[in-house]
Structure 1
């Protein structure tokens, strides 16, 4: 039993020792670094491995990463790499006098960026990574065991200097000389003249593998594996030792007042004057340190991108678990975390300890220090009272607490809100209200319910009107000693998420991310934000003393409610989230996602305005030199302006505006970096670009002229106008000629019709001439006198039919072959009666002829048939025969009139004997008619005459052949 008791005592002692030991470890476990922003792959870097940092003459930051060279403008990363590179990892970034950015990959090959594109230096085979140097307009490169000097303007080799070293260890440049470290130190001036400088005795043993960095005072020579270092100045080597020990130094950097030793376990800041040092970022593999023109520091790492440090005096105490809420006494800062734990930071020495660790793993989302009673109220899984230990706890979701007087606090909680007594022994004017509404349920924390059935979010007390305010899901409730009522904004319920009181006014932020002011007379108005914050959405507010803090998406702002002065106190980046602020002794304490940030309030740098820089101008997608736009042709009217917003603080968000000539300012999307102007009309243009709406914001101007097309040139317009007038005149004359020609054709057609009609009348006259009628009537008379009634009637019938047919033909232009054959048959039957029985005829229509549909001109054949009868057959002795044939050959109707008469010559001789003045009326008329028909109908009717004769050349008749193009 004694042994058991002894074991228990031993166990208790060990437990206490372990607790003390763990507490000591805990207090020393919180790493202290300067507050920094991280720029890594989540920010757009192609790789988290960064080997070098540089700032160019415009202000852009350049990073040499594991996947190529990058340009950073504070918001966006532009990677410049190409497939022709032997490798993309590199270091040693610099800028030459021509604005080109250079860097060297770890294979020893140089690349430069010009006009936004990467180019390779034409160089011999590399002998490894040795830093190049730029001396004025000369480029010094170690290649193939030689020092090669290039003309920077032409990039042509102007000198090659053989080195002849056994072992080349390191190279560097200070802008005036290029140094090569081998068995001795060799310096080369810009013309390649060499000076050899002996190294100190035992240099090889003490330094081994040197790392050399140029500083404003000389060369800082460190060793990768030794604590010894040298400083070379004015031809003298000064030896010293680091005030620490390190296993490996991979790079040396120099800034304005400090030298930096970059190691695999952080970066060491060395003060060579006092020979003291301090280590930062112990968990990071640091490759380089750079200080920009704004005195900001940039630390590149091999494992986590780049750290941006605005001020080394702003401290970051990294914590796990994460800080959520803050409260403070005169000596301590209390920290509520996301793991149901309270931490305490001593304000004198910033030591951190943990006075309370719960088991619920809930976040501490409300923490208040009660100065009057020197105790803490906080809420995690339960509402608790803490003074060196938890004094009281209750399952009550208190969201916010505000002091009313030394006895009472107001509280906002889920379900119900009210007041509670922190000290029962004191008296207060609120006692009557408390007694009237206090709860009798146990356990309780001496509370009285004032606003039931509502989820309280925040509470504040305004002593000016002695009113407690509760921001709830049902609106803003105001509780005085007399009554509780809702306060509305423009007769509408207002939903505030957080309220704070200063002097006579209440300040609240709403769900719509706007800030309101509630006066002591309960009038609600919108809080007027400073012009620089116009358009910002406010997510949360805090109040410390007279300062109102506004949480925006990318920054936290401070407004002095007394002097109305305004400043940005912290820029927020994606890797930093601030949840609470305390202002103690003119220092800011921020609860952040990385830990506690401590920043001197008076050490805020003056805000540097971002700068808008024109990167590239494209005309119809073809890049031209920026700021040098020539006069453009009318079709060069698609303009694209690529620009950058150079921000000196990472992740600052800006709004961009543009206007054309004297037009209105137009807003661009904050993520865009291009202005596209399409299909511009010819004119003189000035495009204005600026950041922000402020009238005094610097404006970038791009001027250019789009010329009128050549056809809009005044001279060309005059020539074209004159040409158009001449063309119109020519067109007018042409139209007149066309009309005249058309009229002439119409007149000709009228004349043709007239002549054709006349010819038609002549053809009718030829058929109905008096001789024909006289002969026909004589023949009829002879039949009557001879009392041959049958013949007389038949003859008379045929004569009347022929007469009617001829008269009907006067109404027609054409008739069918069958109609023509019938008419000719009637005519020949009448003429046959004048002859004895020795006259015969036949009319034949070929089988291929469509007699009913093929048309021929009227009055065309009969005169020729009449000629054959009267002049060919009438005077013939013996048998007289006339044959008429209609035949089709291709698209032509062939009509032949064949007689066995005396022939045309004999007939003319006889006619000449009878009447010396005889003129063939019918033949001439029909010939004219055929000519007119050919002109009028655009046809080609042909007539061929054949005088037939026997072997003795005696006439045997006449053959007349018509060829008529077939029409239907």
Structure 2
């Protein structure tokens, strides 16, 4: 019983309004200078760059747009059906109405690199500087064809047997036709000559009217005729007709769609516009998609095996066996295993002319007649391997050998869930998910490989390839694995044909030559296959057949290398400062957004790298978001920079380097002339403020007040603890260090030190009125404080601040600057007394009810009992002790502290726990 396939179709991508196209009614297709596709729709202009649609609308007598062309960078022109020309410029749209008296509709005429506007009595350029006058005025133009520097057109005048020829020197001449032309007759160029498609004669004629080629089809109402590489593409009311002039073969696609225009893009993909269904992109490879009748949709194609009867392709479909004829792709039902079994093991062996079907019943069939030669029961048969008088069978419970003479099945490798068997160079093997055994003729087994994570094995008579669960591929040679493809490509399946190895992942099938094992190219899911549903790849008579669970794709050629060079284009230039070479310091947060063109057919991925000279020389990868690549540069320091971009397609073709220099100006107060004055003024202001605050805090009454005034006491203690933390000697040392850098003319170091000191002072003054702030703010303050200390002590001073990820540093609160006195004490009473390497570490870590801070130094140690003595120790630490006491009385955040000191250093542990 033969099963006739459904209509053979081309694989296509459909783009509609829901995909971003301006409208589902599209009249015209063209290309711009970047290789982007431009569409004239009944709502305006759509431009597709391979990633997104950019749409432009306008207000005119009609919203429709036809004859769309690019006339400059970012500038386009189109016509509508109400006698208007529409100009799209970068920021504006202009509608130009013309005298419509006697005109059918306006046209844009391409002539070489120019675009001319038809105005009945002649042609004018869009800027109205160039004019070509017609000897006779025309009421309308019918069809036009451009080839190189010459344009031909037909016109609706009294001489309907005339073809007009317009050359780039503005010379207009006529060609007399040997037939009475109608508006249905369409000219096209072929082999440097002019021919006509004439529906009235059912074929193609020359200018004399002589029939050159009859057509085996009669398309209904041809809207447009397009020729590409000896093939005619008819856009009609009932789909796309394709006719090859060399082979005289005709094909019909999209039969239920009204096709309005057709064009190839720079990557060889065919685009078809329609009047109701958007646009269709047919990828560049020649293929067919063959779908079979609905009965096969009841279950999936499970396995396939070549070398069946007449070298046909045998397919299993649950419990059924089918034969596929390569000539017409018809599918014939051959056999069904008894219910409730299903085919799991399957082998069509051309040597023994036997077909083996396995499930819970093994059947040996004559390959020609499909008559059962033998059958016997055996559980869960996964594969067969015939050998002389024996038949080895891999099952889910182990390896069986069936003696054909004695008709006896014997288990020779128990307790292993086998996946299959194969033969290489006369030697026999079986394998499980992680082991491989060699089977000797005496039925003994030798473990060859162990712990290999075997996903799948494919083999021919002389070569065997193994795919592992980690995605790598190895070849079995002399019972050892020789890696061919390393793990990392996420490969999930492999198929072997006569000449190629196909390695599959979720987006493509990579093709490797078996002779050199070099990657030849890739078939992508966007090109007519679906690797997630692929069950077999067959190489037959120059064709490649990709067999899926419910359909088959037939390819007549391999994909060629994508030689189109990517181009990088900045997308948001208008959002950047006008003068990139002199950006004000207040605008130092920048975003660069750009696209890579052309990328029309999704022929593989384009990888993009960037680097910012002035920040790093290392190349960093980029990934597209919402159709564009973005680079965010925040809070850039003043200086000179250069953005460098590079794009590369999967075939190794790279773009030209994209370079964009820019610079950030320093603010006035950070320029050299203001530096010294700023230090003096800042130091004086800070010292005066610090002295007055210190004096006021020392005179504070330390006597405990009644509970109703505890809040005021806490605020006073906060001020005293924070403002008294900053040791004046530290400030003198910091300013002396900066002054020394200035005198040495080390501008970078002095600016860096001054910036850190400025941030530190601003934090002290600003946070003195705050009871608590975030853990992140505390960490930032400590960074600035220790950074200045490092400038004081030099390279022998090192510090580190670490914080566990479990702490939400932006949300978690801490008493303001509570850790600073302990850090100051670690410096002044710890590491400053030590010769050689000085080290301080601060660690924020999570505890059950909160978090803790551990401050360690490698100083000489001291007696902790003297730390809170105002005469011997630190007054700031004494203030912190009082502050901790008041925080514990008034707040739900409970603070504890422990100090341990030894000769090798001091450790302070502060705990912050939330009261339940």
**TM-score class, shorter:** 0.5 to 0.7
Match of 1:256 in 2: 229
Q: Secondary structure at the match of 2:387?
A: coil
1:476 aligned partner: 435
The C-alpha deviation readout for 1:362-403, integer Å capped at 9, x for no partner, is 997764311123233356997655543463778878574353
Is the 1:50–1:305 contact (alpha carbons within 8 Å) kept by the matching residues of 2? yes
Indicate the larger mover: 612-621 or 498-507: 498-507
Q: Report how far residue 106 of structure 1 moved.
A: 5.9
Q: Hey, what does 1:290 align to over in structure 2?
A: 263
Paired residue secondary structure (2:647): strand
Residues 463/81 of structure 1: CA separation in 2 closer, same or farther (3 Å cut): same
For the Cα contact (< 8 Å) 1:383–1:393, is it kept in 2? Answer: yes
Partner of 1:424: 404
Q: Aligned residue for 2:780?
A: none
SS across alignment from 2:672: helix
Q: Cα offset for 1:231?
A: 4.1
Q: Pairwise mapping of residues 115-126 of structure 1 onto structure 2 (< 5 A)?
A: 119-124=93-98
Residue 263 (structure 2) pairs with residue 308 (structure 1): no
Q: For residue 864 of structure 2, what is the aligned residue in structure 1?
A: none
2:548 counterpart of 1:604:
no
Instruction: Give the secondary structure class of the aligned counterpart of 1:573.
Output: helix
Deviation of residue 550 (structure 1)?
0.4
Query: In the TM superposition, what whole-angstrom CA distance separates every residue of 1:36-83 from its partner, at most 9, and x where no partner exists?
Result: 443445994636665544444333344556776544455x24242336
Name the structure 2 match of 1:179.
Answer: 153
1:589 to 545, 554, 567: 545
1:497 alignment counterpart: 455
Judge conservation of contact 1:53–1:63 (CA < 8 Å) in 2.
Answer: yes
1:607 Cα offset (Å): 1.3
Matched, 1:717 2:693: no
Alignment deviations for residues 802-826 of structure 1 (CA, whole Å, 9 cap, x no partner):
xxxxxxxxxxxxxxxxxxxxxxxxx
State the distance in 1 between where 2:561 and 2:651 align.
15
CA RMSD in angstroms comes to 4.9
| SS of equivalent to 2:263 | strand
Provide the residue aligned with 2:521 in structure 1: 568
SS of residue in 1 equivalent to 2:526: coil
Give the equivalent residue in structure 2 for 1:373: 352
**Does the 8 A contact of 1:614 with 1:641 survive in 2?**
no
Map of 2:116 onto structure 1: 140
Aligned equivalent of 1:642: 594
* Structure 1 residue aligned with 2:648: 691
Q: Which structure 1 segments of 5+ residues have no match?
A: 1-18, 426-430, 439-447, 736-968
- State the TM-score, normalizing by the size of structure 2: 0.60
Change (3 A) 1:200 1:224: same
Instruction: Identify which of 181, 186, 202 aligns with 1:227.
Output: 202
Cα deviation, residue 702, structure 1: 1.8
- Are the counterparts in 2 of residues 335 and 344 from structure 1 also a CA contact under 8 Å? yes
2:204 and 2:211 in contact (8 A); partners too: yes
1:568 Cα deviation from its structure 2 partner: 2.0
Name the CA distance, whole Å, in 1 between partners of 2:382 and 2:163: 71
1:384 to 1:707, Cα distance in 2 relative to 1, 3 A? same
Alignment of 1:930-945 (within 5 A): none
Separation in structure 2 between the aligned mates of residue 324 and residue 39 of structure 1, nearest angstrom = 30
Partner of 1:242: 214
Aligned mates of 1:394, 1:282 — CA distance in 2: 51
Query: Based on CA coordinates, which of the two structures has the bigger radius of gyration?
Result: 1
Cα distance in structure 1, aligned partners of 2:560 and 2:347: 34
Please give the per-residue CA displacement for 1:75-94, whole angstroms capped at 9, x wherever unaligned.
x2424233647766655444
TM-score scaled by structure 1? Answer: 0.57
- Quote the Cα distance in structure 2 between the aligned partners of 1:693 and 1:334: 33
Contact map agreement 1:297 1:309 (CA 8 A) in 2: yes
Alignment correspondent of 1:536: 489
After superposition, what is the alpha-carbon deviation per residue over 1:569-598, rounded to whole angstroms, capped at 9, x for unaligned? 522228632321123455433214674444
Mapped to 2, the partners of 1:337 and 1:147 lie a distance apart of 70
1:46-125 pair list within 5 angstroms: 46=21, 51-64=27-40, 69-74=45-50, 76-82=51-57, 84=59, 91-96=66-71, 98=73, 100-104=75-79, 110-111=85-86, 119-124=93-98
Distance 1:477 1:596 in 2: 33
Which whole-Å CA distance do the structure 2 matches of 1:406 and 1:693 have between them? Answer: 48
Give the drift of 1:279. Answer: 1.9
Q: Provide Cα deviations, 1:681-735, integer angstroms capped at 9, x if missing partner.
A: 332324233336999844522231214236279xx633x3586699799999x99
Give SS of 2:437's match.
strand
Are 2:512 and 2:518, in contact at CA under 8 Å, matched by a contact in 1? yes
CA contact (8 A) 1:328 1:369 kept: yes
Whether the 8 Å CA contact 2:230–2:245 is kept in 1: the answer is no
Give the match for residue 450 of structure 1: 413
Q: Counterparts of 1:397 and 1:265 in 2: how far apart (Å)?
A: 55
Name the CA shift for 1:647/1:357 in 2 (closer, same or farther; >3 Å): farther
| Aligned mates of 1:484, 1:299 — CA distance in 2 | 61
How many residues get paired? 655
Q: Which whole-Å CA distance do the structure 2 matches of 1:180 and 1:562 have between them? A: 56
Question: Contact 1:612/1:700 (CA < 8 Å) preserved in 2?
Answer: no
Partner of residue 356, structure 1: 334
1:275-332 CA distance string (max 9 Å, x none): x3422326353444434455554455565842424344x5554434476643222843
- Offset of 1:667 from its aligned partner? 2.0
Residues 382 and 420 in structure 2, CA contact (< 8 A), matched pair in contact too: yes
Unaligned stretches of 5+ residues in structure 2: 690-916
| Structure-2 separation of matches of 1:106 and 1:375 | 69
Please give the secondary structure, in 1, of the residue aligned with 2:516.
coil
